[in-house]
Amino acid sequence: MKRKIIVFFIILVWISNISFASVGDFTISDEAKLGKKFYVYITTHFPIVYDPYIVNYIRGIANRLKSALPPQPFDITVDVIYSPQINAFAGPGGHVFVYTGIIVLMDTEAELASVMSHEFAHVTQRHIAESIKRQKLFSIGSLVGVLAGSLVGSSVGHAVAVGSVAGVKSAMLKHTRKQEREADQVGIQYLVKAGYPAFAMVKAFLKLKKQKVLSGENSVPPYFLTHPGIEERISYLEQMQKFFPSKGRNISNKHFEKMKALVLAHYTDPDLALDLAPRLKDQCCRRLVKSFALLKKNKIKEAEQLIKDDYCEKKLEFWDREKGRFYFRLGKMADALKYLNRAIKLNDKDYFALYFRARIYGEEQQPKLAIDDLNKILEFVPFDSEIHTILGRIMGRYVSPFYGYIHYAYAALYKGDKDRVNKYWSRAKSLARSNQEKMALKKFEQEYNKWKKYW
């Protein structure tokens, strides 16, 4: 017992002294520049989830964890990638990405928080900078693709590290076992300090281990390619958790279930979603998942029967939005508009509801209403290329070809498509006549100059 107290005291002292690491010649400024390039690369090459309920929930966990961190040189950000792969990674400059596949695997907020706290520890300990210095790879321009190949951990990731030399460098930049151990040891402390129980990290890693066994040797989840030595790490985490309080603060999983229901309904294979739906405790969450999974399988009558339930309107704040989304998919635009209007009345910041309403207005040839909604959406997600594409189509048809091409140019810019940027920008230039159009061109040029340095 005396030994446990001494070890626990050492851990507490360690917590109070953790700070961001300093790494030789690869400076904070270097990492920040690389981080911005890397973030632009990932967000233009991988599908990002923009659902405000999912995004705000994940960022809420991130904020709780950040409150447990010592002062940092980077503002840690978290985005969600739409992919069934079981993965999460921390890029340079504090940019963390969590896959929908790993969200689906977790059963509680604390388990998901433990995955994120581990990634936060990679950031605070500057493991990427450490690896770059070790391998003497200092060309920021060439590092972006190499890092993506290293961190994404799939055939897609290796494909972006172009060429055999880049592939070798990607392998060299993978986290070492020493770095993984440090991320576990520091991450579990962040987790506990944020109010979560230490055993949540063990439970999360046990789920990952089980998934590895079920996947077979020929289909190892990406998390195991980017985070080696899971079995060994579970063993020492089980020992570490004994020295922390057995309980964290009282955290309800109600909001976690709602978020997970949306991920299962819209970002998961329908058969898997139907398999996992019964594990959700809330009946309205189960109904939501089943209704959209059945809709994807073209079992429309069964799906509509589930979504019709008015009882769930009071249980799930996004139920009206989801009903509107459901009827939009069915092509029942009058019903869809009815529920979307109700959803927007309840929450005028729900830009997903605005998105589907704008699509309806566009199809019903009400361009002014559609344009108003799309511009409101851009206040929340200004870099969403799809919104600019829709705006380009509607404005090009109903307002002027100039505004059509300028929004197509924005869409290409935010997708990193240089050829299309130049094509649409050139066409917009040839059509600019009024002072307002020339001002719009100048504004685009300023945005272009900001983004081109990250290509």
Condensed to tens digits (0 to 9), the pLDDT of residues 70-113 reads 999 989 999 999 999 999 999 999 999 999 999 999 999 999 99
Nearest Cα neighbor of 357 from 384, 323, 380 is 323
Q: Is the pLDDT of residue 30 over 90?
A: no
pLDDT (0 to 100) of residue 362: 96
Structure tokens at 191: 């987790």
Q: Is the pLDDT of residue 433 over 80?
A: yes
**Looking at residues 267-285, what average pLDDT do you find?**
97
Say if pTM beats, i.e. exceeds, 0.85: yes
Q: Given pLDDT bands bounded at 50, 70 and 90, which one contains residue 141?
A: low
Q: Is the pLDDT of residue 414 over 70?
A: yes
Share of the chain above pLDDT 70, in %: 83
- Say which amino acid occupies 285: C
pLDDT digits (tens, 9 = 90+) for 343-399: 999 999 999 999 999 999 999 999 999 999 999 999 999 999 999 999 999 999 999
pLDDT digits (tens, 9 = 90+) for 199-255: 999 999 899 888 876 665 545 566 666 666 777 888 888 888 877 876 667 788 999
pLDDT (0 to 100) of residue 214: 64
Cα-based distances in Å from 278 to 283, 286, 383, 415: 9, 6, 37, 38
Q: Is the pLDDT of residue 148 over 90?
A: no
Return mean pLDDT, the chain.
Answer: 86
**Rounded (10°) angle between helices 300-307 and 319-330:** 160
Taking the C-alpha atoms of residue 368 and residue 351, their distance in angstroms, rounded to an integer, is 17
**Looking at residues 149-172, what average pLDDT do you find?**
48
Between 12 and 196, residue with greater pLDDT = 196
Structure tokens at 103: 């969200």
pLDDT (0 to 100) of residue 153: 56
Pairing of strands 95-99, 77-81: parallel
Residue whose structure tokens are 């230490």: 198
pLDDT (0 to 100) of residue 453: 80
